[in-house]
Amino acid sequence: MAAAFNIDISTIPVNKDLVKERATASFKVAELTHIIDGGPEKTKRRKELESIVLSDPLFLNKNGVNLTKSEAYENALQKSVKLKSWRRQYNWSEEDYEIITNRINCFDEALTLHHTMFIPALERLCNEEQKARWLPLALNYRIIGTYAQTELGHGTNLMRLETTATFDPETDEFVMNSPQISSMKWWPGGLGKSSTHAIVLAQLYVRDKHHGLQAFIVPLRSLEDHKPLPGITVGDIGPKMALANVDNGFLIMDKYRIPRDNMLMGNAVVTREGKFQMLRADKSNYSTMMYVRVQIVQWSAFTLLPGTVMAVRYSAARRQSSLKPGGEEVQILDYQTQQYKLFPALAAAHATSFAAQTLRREYDAALGDLLKGNKQVMGEFHSQTSVMKALCSDIAVEHAEILRRSCGGHGYMLLSGLAPLYTSSLGLVTVEGENTVLYQQTARYLMRQMAATLSGLTVGHSCSYLADPQETELSITSPEQLRDLDLLLTLFKRAAQRIVSQTAQRLQADMERGLPQDQAWNKNMVALVRAAKAHGWQTLVQYNVRAVQGLRGSTSPELATVLHRLCCLFALHAIETNAGNFLETEVLNPGELGLVREVEMGLLGEIRPDAVALVDAVDYPDSSLQSALGAYDGNVYERMYKTALTEPMNRTDVHPSYYKHLRGFIKGTSSKL
């Protein structure tokens, strides 16, 4: 099909509105880029990696929106193989590889779980002999692995997983079995067509005695021809809302035998004689799952950061209507309603990014204790990773949809970049624990900590606010007070403390009236989830406040001011959208809530001049961003039209279906040729 407009994007100047926006920013973009990356040296390193990866046409994704599911998988698999080959060639570090997968290739891989779960699980769950055997194979990609935990019938309730591993002392083997349809493994990424091996979680039976959930490394496919091994049925689960690049799969094992030493024996051992021995707390098996939840907080940030880039740049380049009759059409970024869609998302992007950095540092510091099964550390970190994964993914999904809507009809198109970003983000709220269940797990920890507080016992660091006295009443009489980050944090802590306390009191009262604990829990389940969310919000605001305060001495006054505004907006917007929590607990009164809204609206206008600079600082190359709406040059319409021309239906002027169906219908004759 001939194009009516011959467009060469490289010859078109940058959109004049974006040029103006960048010229009037109050801070240096590179300074914020360094903070997002973790320092100037890390920015330099990221750009070095970009120069390698993006020099290969494979990673330019020019027709990504037009690929079928099978084509998207093949394309992602090709990228995975290329990146893993380069990793060996260039000796990339773990940090290098995370930058490439998260920031440069934007998760467009097929073998993600090999890197994020299979290898970490081997490192954490194997004994030294097994590490020496399996890790070199995995690190050198002689085997490709996944982590098979979730089943068709059970996900978050791990104790009720149905897959069995029964020790046969006569052959020194485990018999792996999927006893019924609900026990087949379902959802693991890379399981469908890619993986040669899986770490399978199964119920262990030795001499008819049940020993709980254990991990096993299970060969799935021949290393010669990649065909499923006898006793293994494996395949792709089919189309999903998004992420066609990943072959999420199912696995059925029919009395499939593996050697005894294929049980990962870092935590527990089954001897040749059939004796089971626990070496350390079985909850250390959860360290891998907690690690992935930390990763999901980071993935939530990497949903919001590019989303804000696309929507803000589009809003600066798009002019629509006028504020006064007959006046010039204005940038839609000038409308307060548009700012109210974009800027809270921008603030949330930075808040979740700071949270991801903090949580990762806390995980790395606690890893030794986690692997030892330290009950205190395990319980607290399980609670924190559960609520942070749930809250940050909820926030990411909510704002991703608002960002998509902020671009009007154009945001509905895949070429916008926002539509696929939103649909991809939806998986975050159910992967590695459905969020409602995770909130409940945090709520259980909070109820125990509340009981410890009432008994005068020491509580976990994350819950120390539960024991804080609230003798001084807060009185907010001026808007300026609501720009005090410590005061804002105090508001969240007080609301959380009162909600957790009130929930614990209701739960206890129901049990004192004779209601069994399980029934009392179910009766108060919505309140318990609310308590966990309140705790999560104070944690997230605290991470954000402490990060911004910690940067004050090392950043320019101009950037410090901008970050302070974003931090305030994040907290104030959260107060407004959760106003019931603050009013019901009497942390705020209606008049004070009115001041919250006043300051929030004022911050929108203050952030407006720096909006484009703030998203430029995220520093996504256009080839990684893959958005016709959000490219650096702002030439939205030219890019949309050029992308539309790549649609396969436009390869011919007349679609073949015309001759089959439409021609005869229009002409009033039979549609048969």
Angle, helices 375-406 vs 418-425, to 10°: value is 150
Are 310 and 293 within 8 A, CB to CB? no
**Can 512 be counted among the known catalytic residues?**
no
Q: Is 453 exposed, middle or buried (0-12, 13-18, 19+ CB in 10 A)?
A: buried
Which pair of tokens denotes residue 18? Answer: 């974006």
Which one, of 663, 646, 645, lies nearest residue 654 by Cα?
663
Measured between alpha carbons, how far is 503 from 36 in angstroms, rounded to an integer?
Answer: 38
Report the Cα 151 to chain-centroid distance in Å: 21
How far, in Å, are 80, 136, 402 from residue 139 at the CA level? 14, 5, 40
Left, alpha or beta for 634 (phi > 0: left; psi -120 to 50: alpha)?
A: left
How many C-beta atoms surround the C-beta of residue 49 within 10 A?
Answer: 19
**Is 173 strand, coil or helix?**
strand
**Is 270 strand, coil or helix?**
strand
- The residues with which 571 forms a beta bridge, in sequence order, are none
Measured between alpha carbons, how far is 527 from 550 in angstroms, rounded to an integer?
Answer: 34
Helix or strand (DSSP H, E) at 200: strand 197-206
| Catalytic annotation, pick one of 432, 592, 600, 638 | 432
Contacts for 228 with CB less than 8 Å, ≥ 6 apart: 220, 221, 222, 234
DSSP character for 224? T
- The residues with which 174 forms a beta bridge, in sequence order, are 167, 258
Instruction: Kindly compute the dihedral angle of the four CA atoms of residues 410, 412, 415, 420, in this order, to the nearest 10 degrees.
Output: 150
How many CA atoms lie within 13 Å of 405's alpha carbon, on the beta-carbon side?
12
With tokens 């990060």, the residue in question is 547
How far, in Å, are 99, 261, 425 from residue 95 at the CA level? 6, 32, 23
Report the Cα 61 to chain-centroid distance in Å: 22
Which pair of tokens denotes residue 624? Answer: 């990684």
Measured between alpha carbons, how far is 436 from 455 in angstroms, rounded to an integer?
Answer: 29
Catalytic residue numbers, as ranges? 432
